[in-house]
Structure 1
Amino acid sequence: MITGQLKSDINKLWEEFWTGGIANPLTVIEQITFLMYARLLDLHEQRDEKRAKLRGIAFKRRFNDDQQHIRWHRFIHQDKDTMLKLVRDEVFPHFKNASGEGSLFAEFMKDAQCMIQKPTLMESAVEMINKLPLEDSDTKGDLYEYLLSKLTTAGINGQFRTPRHIIRAMVEMLDPTVEDRIVDPSCGTAGFLTVAYEYLLEKYTSPEGVHTETVVGDNGETQQVKIYSGDLLVEHRDYVNSDMFHGFDFDATMLRIAAMNLVMHGVTEPDVHYQDTLSGSFTERFPNQSKDAYTMCIANPPFKGSLDEEDVDPAILRMVKTKKTELLFVAQILRLLKNGGKTAIIVPDGVLFGSSNAHQQLRQHIIENNELQAVVSLPSGVFKPYAGVSTAILFITKGSRTDHVWFYDVQADGMSLDDKRTPIKDNDLPDVVAKFKARDKAIAETAQNDRSQKAFWVSKADIVGNKYDLSINRYKQVVYAEQQYEDPKVILDKLVALENDILADLKALEAML
């Protein structure tokens, strides 16, 4: 967790950009990301230099002899006008080369532009970023997450994230392992992927695998930093860094932010690409990743919008013939998974009960050709104030067989369901995670399966009989409490007595006049 002082520093940095004339929150985060990246490049170079000196080994340098003046610890001591010119004309163009031609970061940074036009803003932004504890691997991920939380409060251009506590519950229910290959086909800021990485860190790092290491900062001061060295980092680090996490999006700004988010959390070579995963070009560009390629998918794909059929991969249309993106993404996610692969997908309620041929076709495909493990209904306010749509989470295992489906009716997520979304005591998420992991299909056809409770089982036969309707209200039993009312004659007598009292008061008032 980051401290109140760090939050205050981030808030001040944010305000500096707004007062400096950059008001779009995505642009603010993108520019801060670039400057953080510039500092991280220098920090990593300093780290490798020290290791090389101690161990007598060579390493691939990020800055040649002619570029030493554009390293972070050098240019931050320039005057503000020189600093702005140096960062704009030399540091930003260097990003692509520093990442290596053909590398993923080169792809993200090739169009990087410095939007800071005021020398005073550059000076203050660099000064503030220089104070952030980017050397601390245990803090910088949380620090960047707090920066990204500004998107939630801003909501410009519809850009807002899936609530982190919802993501965490989904990841815990999927329970990824170091054997998994995880994808998000509409990754945005990579929130799902970073939470999955954090979960794996916690799962595979024992207390004995945590130690502290002394790190020297830019100002020469030493700092004790917590270092994880559990099984995940030691035995699987190369796989984690380059091939465990995969993301796609067709917003270049989001991709840069996603890449930095993963790097700040500890994934050094994130595999995220600029790509519309619903288009035919996805298969052309990534033939080995567009079908049967992943063991796990966690996603909250776009709800609104429709696409022209000619823009959609024909293989997806063979599964579900529609223009609606929410249906196309579900079909595409099932294509991306290997047999036995698992997914958790947030979908609008319309996917669950829509009556069109496409809606029924997709639900039939899910039930008949896969195992629909669970439908978790979310309250309609979880995406407020920017979207009030009711949603649910589908948990599906590709290629297995559906015989019963587990339903859970989440009524509270620990936050108020109004536009303010303030913390409250009621929270069903810990319960849904615990009950999902402990669910027992053996009770599905017994008296223990009480459909009046929040969690219950529904047979495939019932679902098929209802045209594959997956709405929880279709199957949940509502218990009505009997109300007792007084006899109508008694009520009438009371009304007469009341009217007589009113009439008596009116006559008394008349006598006074």
Structure 2
Amino acid sequence: MAGTTTQFVKRIRDIMRNDPGINGDAQRIEQLSWILFLKVYDDREQIWEIDQDDYESIIPEGMHWREWAEDNKDGKALTSDELLDFVNNKLLPTLKNITVTNETPISKAIVKDAFIDANNYMKNGVLLRQVVNVVNEVDFTDPKDRHLFGDIYESILKELQSAGSSGEFYTPRALTDFIAETLKPKLGQRIADLACGTGGFLVSALNILSKQVHSVEDRELYNKAVFGIEKKGQPYILAVTNLLLHDVDNPDIVHGNSLEKRVTEYTDKDKFDLIMMNPPFGGSELPIIKQNFPTDLQSSETADLFLTLIMYRIKDNGKVGVILPDGFLFGNDGAKLNIKKRMLKDFNLHTIIRLPGSIFSPYTSIATNILFFDKPGPTKETWFYCLDMPKGYKHFSKTRPMKLEHFDPVREWWNDRHEIQDEDGNYKSKAYTPEELAKNNYNFDLCGFPTETEEVLPPFELMDKYQKERKELNAKIDKQLSIIKQLLEEDN
């Protein structure tokens, strides 16, 4: 493969910036998503064709990457208006309308799923040909190229953080790796992310599992180890491609919404040994979605609903690592309060790691935490640990992201838990019993940072919240004024 990670990304970016149809980084990455998927899938198919004598592709004749994308420099490669016509009027419509049945293997069904929401934004066929040629330089059947492209792919995913709202689908690798190494996945376990975005948590788990593969049987367990669900089309394609790049032949990634099924309908076969995820913050679901949850656990906050979902989809003796905003920790509305009570009663909420700010910058400045819990419960004590910003850092950024070694203080403390106080007497680490948490009105905002936290709510709910708070504040002011007035009258 020619060039380096930086050069590859720069070449693609420079070409697409000249196309009048590409409006910003988000569209550029969406365009590149389906192009990369088709190239990666075609290279995987070449391997499957060698390994399986009777292999039949689900992609119709003439639509395979190798049949239209390769340029042999003989003047016969599609380009300009001819290429645009083929992509817009033949390739994309054909792949969107592939016939899939319940018997279709995941490895084939993902092709249709990947293209349901795919679009070609490029309007210049010559520039599109240039992009295709750059991608064509990568041979995914070559281990060296595939390893280098893993780095390229990670850099593309990082760009999602600065590509508008798409940033919500990318969790920094340091976070996914730390949670995965803490939960210690093993071959034979089923590992899930119920809002998997681009598949970062699943890949972190696979990187650990790959070192445990020593036989054909191990390879089969590896191929079936991870499961993900993603609601939106672009990150879904990226997640599937990510798993293909990590030698998962049948990526068990569902294009759908995890919250659309009643949680009480899940049976043991729907549960997992490990769940690790970073559910969407803020966001609002349709009222009908809330009805899929018990009345006392229905919330307007998407992250709350996902936490409840996790509690219904984790096996007995299963383990969870989930990232949640500060709003969950100190919130005490009905649903949050009931979720916390149930978690302490039915699960072992053993650790909450308070994370330093700006980890998800520039997508959001919301302060976040990692909750680690397992089943069965109940909780005996919950340790809080406040992870400081690394020395020399004022904040994290695209050029200075969080690194795995920044978790070293937590790693050292994890197996030697003890209280830690700073010079002002504030706790950096401390354990609390469920009874102590209950006396604190289930406010988990403990051993934390003295920062104001932003709570994300839909606009109308935010207006209602502020109006309610204003009424409460006005009532308090009126009460105090009345007391003062009464005191003044008594003095006279």
Query: In structure 1, how many angstroms separate the alpha carbons of the residues matched to 2:62 and 2:350?
Result: 59
* Of 414, 419, 437, the match for 1:463: 437
Question: How many angstroms does 1:58 deviate by?
Answer: 4.0
Equivalent residues of 1:367, 1:402 under 8 A apart: yes
Equivalent residues of 1:279, 1:313 under 8 A apart: no
SS at match of 2:259: coil
Cα distance change, pair 74–414 in 1 and its aligned pair in 2 (3 A): farther
Question: How many angstroms does 1:125 deviate by?
Answer: 0.4
| Amino acid paired to 2:218 | H
Identity across the alignment (%): 24
Q: Counterpart in 1 of 2:207?
A: 198
Q: Counterpart in 1 of 2:217?
A: 235
* Of 155, 174, 177, the match for 1:165: 174
Equivalent residues of 2:2, 2:137 under 8 A apart: no
| Worse-matched range after superposition: 109-118 or 374-383 | 109-118
Equivalent residues of 1:30, 1:257 under 8 A apart: no
1:199-221, Cα deviation, whole Å (9 max, x unpaired): 222x42xxxxxxxxxxxxxxxxx
Q: Counterpart in 2 of 1:27?
A: 27
| Amino acid paired to 2:188 | E
SS at match of 1:248: strand
Point out where structure 2 has 5 or more consecutive residues left out of the alignment. 451-492
Cα distance change, pair 322–63 in 1 and its aligned pair in 2 (3 A): closer
1:139 and 2:117 aligned: no
1:138-158, Cα deviation, whole Å (9 max, x unpaired): 333322111111112333565
Matches within 5 A, 1:69-88: 70=67, 72-73=69-70, 77-81=76-80, 82-88=82-88
Query: In structure 2, how many angstroms separate the alpha carbons of the residues matched to 1:105 and 1:295?
Result: 28
Cα distance change, pair 79–465 in 1 and its aligned pair in 2 (3 A): closer
Higher RCO (CA < 8 A, seq sep 6+): 2
Cα distance change, pair 319–295 in 1 and its aligned pair in 2 (3 A): farther
1:320 and 2:297 aligned: yes
| Amino acid paired to 1:27 | Q
Query: In structure 1, how many angstroms separate the alpha carbons of the residues matched to 2:299 and 2:189?
Result: 31
Q: Counterpart in 2 of 1:257?
A: 238
Query: In structure 2, how many angstroms separate the alpha carbons of the residues matched to 1:65 and 1:158?
Result: 36
Cα distance change, pair 400–88 in 1 and its aligned pair in 2 (3 A): same
SS at match of 2:258: coil
Cα distance change, pair 92–415 in 1 and its aligned pair in 2 (3 A): farther
Matches within 5 A, 1:292-303: 293-303=271-281
* Of 123, 131, 154, the match for 1:117: 123
User: TM-score, normalising length from structure 2?
Assistant: 0.77
* Of 385, 398, 406, the match for 2:362: 385
Question: How many angstroms does 1:337 deviate by?
Answer: 0.9
Cα distance change, pair 413–320 in 1 and its aligned pair in 2 (3 A): farther
Task: Name whichever structure is richer in strand by fraction.
Answer: 1
Query: In structure 2, how many angstroms separate the alpha carbons of the residues matched to 1:11 and 1:407?
Result: 43
Q: Counterpart in 1 of 2:55?
A: 59
Question: How many angstroms does 1:321 deviate by?
Answer: 3.2
- Higher-Rg structure is 1
Query: In structure 1, how many angstroms separate the alpha carbons of the residues matched to 2:67 and 2:172?
Result: 38
1:357-393, Cα deviation, whole Å (9 max, x unpaired): 3222111111111100200001122122221111111
Question: How many angstroms does 1:47 deviate by?
Answer: 3.7
Equivalent residues of 1:75, 1:83 under 8 A apart: no
| Amino acid paired to 1:321 | Q
* Of 310, 320, 326, the match for 2:288: 310
Q: Counterpart in 2 of 1:334?
A: 311
Question: How many angstroms does 1:271 deviate by?
Answer: 1.6
| Amino acid paired to 2:253 | V
| Amino acid paired to 2:160 | L
| Amino acid paired to 1:463 | L
1:21-80, Cα deviation, whole Å (9 max, x unpaired): 31243332232232223333443444455567xxxx443346677768835447885141
Q: Counterpart in 2 of 1:481?
A: none
Cα distance change, pair 288–365 in 1 and its aligned pair in 2 (3 A): closer
Cα distance change, pair 106–258 in 1 and its aligned pair in 2 (3 A): same
Q: Counterpart in 2 of 1:473?
A: 447
SS at match of 2:182: helix
Q: Counterpart in 2 of 1:219?
A: none
Q: Counterpart in 2 of 1:211?
A: none
* Of 418, 426, 435, the match for 2:413: 435
Equivalent residues of 2:358, 2:397 under 8 A apart: no
1:391-414, Cα deviation, whole Å (9 max, x unpaired): 111001122221112221101258
Equivalent residues of 1:371, 1:398 under 8 A apart: yes
Cα distance change, pair 280–465 in 1 and its aligned pair in 2 (3 A): same
* Of 355, 372, 375, the match for 1:395: 372
Query: In structure 1, how many angstroms separate the alpha carbons of the residues matched to 2:63 and 2:444?
Result: 60
Question: How many angstroms does 1:172 deviate by?
Answer: 1.1
SS at match of 1:278: helix
The CA RMSD measured in Å over matched residues stands at: 3.4
| Amino acid paired to 1:126 | V
Query: In structure 1, how many angstroms separate the alpha carbons of the residues matched to 2:340 and 2:409?
Result: 27
| Amino acid paired to 2:228 | G
Query: In structure 1, how many angstroms separate the alpha carbons of the residues matched to 2:95 and 2:391?
Result: 42
SS at match of 2:281: coil
Equivalent residues of 2:19, 2:124 under 8 A apart: yes
Query: In structure 2, how many angstroms separate the alpha carbons of the residues matched to 1:145 and 1:326?
Result: 25
| Worse-matched range after superposition: 257-266 or 25-34 | 25-34
Point out where structure 1 has 5 or more consecutive residues left out of the alignment. 205-229, 441-447, 477-513
Equivalent residues of 2:322, 2:372 under 8 A apart: yes
Question: How many angstroms does 1:111 deviate by?
Answer: 4.5
Cα distance change, pair 472–97 in 1 and its aligned pair in 2 (3 A): same
The count of corresponding residues between Structure 1 and Structure 2 is 431
SS at match of 1:296: strand
SS at match of 1:166: helix
Query: In structure 1, how many angstroms separate the alpha carbons of the residues matched to 2:402 and 2:85?
Result: 52
User: TM-score, normalising length from structure 1?
Assistant: 0.74
Q: Counterpart in 2 of 1:223?
A: none
Query: In structure 2, how many angstroms separate the alpha carbons of the residues matched to 1:78 and 1:114?
Result: 19
* Of 108, 112, 125, the match for 2:114: 108
SS at match of 1:345: strand
Cα distance change, pair 281–238 in 1 and its aligned pair in 2 (3 A): same
Q: Counterpart in 1 of 2:480?
A: none
